[in-house]
Amino acid sequence: MSRTVDLRSDTVTMPTERMRRAMVEADLGDDVYREDPTVRRLEEECAELLGHEAALFVPTGTMGNQISIHLLTRPGDEVLIEGSGHSYDWELSGMAVVSGVQPRVLVGDHGVFNPADVEEALAERSSIQSRVSLVIIENTHSMAGGRVWPRDTMAEIQRLARARGAALHLDGARLFNAAVAGGTTVADLAAGFDTVMVSFSKGLCAPLGSVLAGSTSLIEEARRTRKLLGGGMRQVGVVAAAGRVAIAQMVERLGEDHDNARRLARGLTELDGIELAHGHCDTNIVAIDVAGCAATAEEIRDRLGEQGVACLKTGPSVLRLVTHRDVDAADIDFAIRAARKVLAGC
């Protein structure tokens, strides 16, 4: 069988053997009746881990984000979000469909707001203008090459939002990556937000699932909204068990993915015509700009695929390659060699 190195996303990871055993052996109950002990343990563990009062298991990060938007806004409001943010660009206009709100989009500096722009957007508005009731920060920022938010910038935006009475949601699908990269904890990064969502199904290798954390009262309402959106599941401890293994055993190894990503970034940017799309490689996402190459991004992507390296095109001249547990150092070398062959033929 020919070799394939799948760098499209860390969502392609397979659950570990320990996860599979935990899923088979999980204590189960009906979670809609709050009788699944495995789910309850996961929610309690995540609430403590994230430094919030309560947490709710949800099937996807998108659902977690949309529940937060629904709870923290009212119809006709605006949501402040960066122009390539997941809840704006990759959730099928969910905030408009589910909650009747619209995004107020800011152009970020590689995914990060300028506080001055936030202050202007949150300025007092007339009676015929919509209010901005929610600010969403994505950390790490997926479409900005896995960018880790600078702590001082995040704190300043939290201060501005609080001063204007706007709520704060943290889209932390890859928050564990941000914590490992910054040498801190997810609780530290989640502090100051009304709600925070983290995913188990990316670098942590669980087959599915996320949690939404916040105050006890907010999470109680989140449970009702989850049901409204079709997320009230039954013996869901069979997958929550994998989430428990993910947070217990899979966090520290994310540093290996970051090391492999930096190695990949160095190898690719040594090639003529390739540079980092965002000028950095903070975590496990390598975004490269191939505008300097003779071939188009689509052509390079397709030729890499023929060489056994799968990646995604995420911009007119941008390719995204994501490292994860199922990619090792030898696979990185293979991908770099494949890129050399492809570009030599362009």
The helix/strand/coil state of 233 is coil
Percent of the chain with pLDDT over 70: 99
Residues in CB range of 97: below 8 A, 6 or more apart: none
Torsion over CA: 165, 118, 188, 83 (sign): positive
**214 has which bridge partners?**
54
What is the amino acid identity at position 312? Answer: L
State pLDDT tens for residues 233-247.
999 999 999 999 999
What is the amino acid identity at position 45? Answer: E
State pLDDT tens for residues 77-134.
999 999 999 999 999 999 999 999 999 999 999 999 999 999 999 998 888 889 999 9
- Burial zone of 336 (CB within 10 Å; 0-12 exposed, 13-18 middle, 19+ buried): middle
**CA contacts within 13 A on the Cβ side of 290:** 27
Q: Report the mean per-residue pLDDT for the chain.
A: 96
Tell me the mean pLDDT in the region 181-206: 98
What is the amino acid identity at position 174? Answer: R
**196 has which bridge partners?**
170, 213
**pLDDT higher than 90, residue 142:** yes
What per-residue confidence (pLDDT) applies to 125?
A: 84
What token pair was written down for 311?
């990646």
Residues in CB range of 233: below 8 A, 6 or more apart: 31, 32, 59
Q: Which domains does the chain possess?
A: 5-12+253-344 (3.90.1150.10), 17-249 (3.40.640.10)
Contact of 132 with 88, CB cutoff 8 Å: no
**pLDDT higher than 80, residue 300:** yes
What is the maximal distance between C-alpha atoms in the chain? 65
Degrees, nearest 5: CA angle 269-274-277: 90
CA 96 – CA 142 distance, rounded (Å):
22
Which residue is it, tokens 């939404």? 212
What token pair was written down for 228?
């409204």
What confidence category does residue 345 fall into, taking pLDDT thresholds of 50, 70 and 90?
low
Tell me the mean pLDDT in the region 287-294: 95
